[in-house]
Amino acid sequence: MSRTLTIPRPDDWHLHLRDGAVLRAVLPETARYFGRAIIMPNLVPPVVTGAQAAAYRDRIMDALPDGMNFTPLMTLYLTEDTDPADVAAVHGSGLVTAVKLYPAGATTNSASGVRDFDRVRPVLEKMAEIGMPLCVHGEVTDAEIDIFDREAVFIDRVLDPLRRATPGLRIVMEHITTQQGVEYVKSNAENLGATITTHHLVINRNHILVGGIKPHYYCLPVAKREEHRLALRAAATSGDARFFLGTDSAPHTDPNKESACGCAGCFTATNTISILAEVFEQEDALDRLAGFASEHGARFYGLPVSAETITLSRGDPVTYPPKIDTGDGPVTLFDPQMPLHWRVV
């Protein structure tokens, strides 16, 4: 017997679209289901000015197929040379929604990120003044810190001091992966939210390493122990408005994933809604899916919840194509390794 569930049209509060042929291929996979998305600025070169953000937005809209309705919410890549006045101007114009903080070297195309946090303090103070959110990739990059500990160390060493120094700053801890991340958000409610990805609700580090290296499960922040995955599932399905969906869907062509030094990222745009419905059903929390996918993030960013809706139907398992073809090569879709019974109808 089939069942249906109708929710407001979801938003993705952390999305990589890339550029060129990959952008044209993957954008419809998001726009099919999502009304808006926070667009990551870590291109080469990165999106650091309002003019670059406007040009990238135009390329996204040019790539959007006829008949699809989608709003890209642009971000600026924070550097130590970012001008506070420029940030305020592009935010006031409505062009840019948020600023993205990458610690230098933390993830794909993050070499231009921040090394000395004191040098960006004027920007952060201006953002606090105007109510502009800061999206944070929360990992330290010190070579002596184990990769599985870098999020927890970042919270203690960087994030907490930053928040104490700029208490009015609205911060999104993006793609949290640890129990420590969950607990920090829950204990610091004011001006703080967190996105959780689809894939971190499904995989732990065993999926990457057991039985041979699985490059299509390698992402940054890297998946952690099972106890952390369970903490993320509990947070996502709790109904707590501080947690909301940011897929971090990150397409890389197969040759760039399946190499001696493969790129980090899981491409989940195509099947995210089906996976989320399956996870929330497993946790007896389908009544909270709308909050996580459609409502909490919009309210944190001060935007209206979508007046549009999507309807999901539960029935026989749905299948998705294993790869998305692009002009630059195939991109492999994330495999959740479980049957998916929910589809958008």
Query: Quick one: pLDDT at residue 12?
Result: 99
Query: Quick one: pLDDT at residue 189?
Result: 73
Query: Quick one: pLDDT at residue 1?
Result: 45
User: Which residue would you say has higher pLDDT here, 18 or 110?
Assistant: 18
CA 142 to chain centroid: 23
User: Which residue would you say has higher pLDDT here, 251 or 142?
Assistant: 251
Query: Quick one: pLDDT at residue 2?
Result: 56
Could you tell me which residues come within 8 angstroms of residue 224 by beta carbon, excluding any fewer than 6 positions away? 148, 177, 178, 204, 205
Tell me what percent of the residues of the chain surpass a pLDDT of 70. Answer: 98
Q: Which runs of consecutive H residues, i.e. helices, occur in the chain?
A: 20-31, 50-63, 84-92, 121-130, 150-154, 160-165, 179-187, 205-209, 226-236, 254-257, 272-282, 289-290, 296-300
Least confident of 101-115, 147-161, 218-232: 101-115
Average pLDDT on 262-267 reads 97
Q: Is 287 designated active site? A: no
Active-site position among 142, 146, 248, 328: 248
Query: Cα dihedral angle (109, 111, 116, 122), rounded to 10 degrees?
Result: -50
Domain boundaries in the chain? 3-344
Task: Say if residue 3's pLDDT is above 60.
Answer: yes
In whole numbers, what is the pLDDT of the chain averaged over residues? 96
Average pLDDT on 183-189 reads 90
Please, what CATH class does the domain formed by 3-344 belong to? Answer: alpha beta
